[in-house]
Structure 1
């Protein structure tokens, strides 16, 4: 059961209702995370702005790979469910690639390097090694792209932390834990 209060639809400001309506149009319903965030319109705006802005960096499958790898490394069941759903239903990723991303890999060698790097970011709290940087560069990523990878990972960590604190009720099909393939 979620630990933070979710405002009733009648208790959210008009501007927030519009944001929730847009989220609902995208998913077909308003996921519990967004309903919870509606209790603090500024935090909802920060999350939505970050997600919108970061949708312009890197390609969608790379962003989904990062989200899955980070959510797995950070143990966020809610985010794993959401990102699995989004990656599959909206992002065109196969179930094999989703499984691999969660385990820090990918069917695509370049995205595999991103998944490993993203998990190293979480595991090392950003204190990645020279070898970690060399590996992601060796896969073809430039320093500006590495900055984008780190920023997407941090945005995912933000929602991981929110959902881990809240223990947000999973309203998207839950996923099982994944080991290393």
Structure 2
């Protein structure tokens, strides 16, 4: 079965308005967002989650997005967040290291990457020593909660792409070498 990417004309008026907003903000409607519009409510709900206030922003949010997308093998999200990672200031070598679940170039981001990978791999049953290291690196319990919400956010789109397999409309992320 092939699930197609809906067009603006094929979605509800409420979703059409969100398509218009996305196009004005991003210059296009990413296929993954468009695929959420198969539901009357999913696109609006997801955009609300993604744009909600959080103590995890900028580079830290992209660390979470890249790590979770790598663990979940989401080609779409890896492509999108490799591009966004570059926009927030990571170079290509740093992005590849983050995808491995490390950030040796920044101790605080390294603690974030390691904990995020562990939480994602272990589906929330992470190593408490990594949580302690995260907090010792200068993060707060508020940050911890927001990291978990961000992991959930990214997991939603990883699952959506894994099931729908809609076309990736970002440049493909480079393959990750298994040992680095």
TM-score for the superposition, normalised by structure 2: 0.91
Say how many residue pairs are matched.
178
Query: Paired residue for 2:140?
Result: 142
How many angstroms apart in 2 are the aligned matches of 1:12 and 1:162? Answer: 18
Shift of 1:43: 0.8
1:63-142 matches, cutoff 5 A: 63-89=61-87, 91-106=88-103, 107-142=105-140
Unaligned runs of 5+ in 1: none
2:129 aligned counterpart, secondary structure: helix
Q: CA offsets, 1:150-174, max 9 Å, x none? A: 1111110111001111112111000
Shift of 1:45: 1.1
Unaligned runs of 5+ in 2: none
1:41-56 matches, cutoff 5 A: 41-54=40-53, 56=54
Determine if the alignment matches structure 1 residue 39 to structure 2 residue 24.
Answer: no
Structure 1, 18-27 or 99-108: larger mean CA deviation: 18-27
How many angstroms apart in 1 are the aligned matches of 2:48 and 2:40? Answer: 12
Q: CA offsets, 1:37-89, max 9 Å, x none? A: 111131111110110005x3223110011000110011101110011112223
Structure 1, 3-12 or 130-139: larger mean CA deviation: 3-12
Query: Paired residue for 1:26?
Result: 25
- Alpha-carbon RMSD across the aligned residues, in angstroms, is 1.6
How many angstroms apart in 1 are the aligned matches of 2:166 and 2:137? Answer: 36
How many angstroms apart in 2 are the aligned matches of 1:98 and 1:92? Answer: 10
